[in-house]
Amino acid sequence: MGMSFWIRRFFTVFAGAFLVIAIGQFLRHHAFSLLETLFWAALSATIFTAGRIYHSRRGEQCALCNDIPQKTSTPSQ
């Protein structure tokens, strides 16, 4: 998997974490702090992505993430 895959994965997780944290702040009636929400979303996305890169390099597959493609056998010529 190339660098573009991991960058897309980071921003996908970042967007999801941002929404969850922002909604959580709203539901708890906390004052919305954009910088705090951005910080925690970035931290969460960084930890998740770094963990997935680590496990991916070790060859461990995540069924939920499906970030290691299935190996298909190609006929030899």
Domain ranges of the chain: 33-58
> So what's the pLDDT on residue 46?
96
pLDDT at 18 over 70: yes
Residues 6+ positions from 40 with CB-CB distance below 8 Å? 17, 21
Rounded-to-integer distance, Cα 19 and Cα 44, Å: 12
CA distance 52 to 4: 14
The rounded mean pLDDT for the chain is 82
Rg for the chain, CA atoms, rounded: 17
Cβ proximity of 54 and 7 under 8 Å: no
Q: What amino acid is encoded at 10 in this protein?
A: F
pLDDT at residue 4 is higher than 60: yes
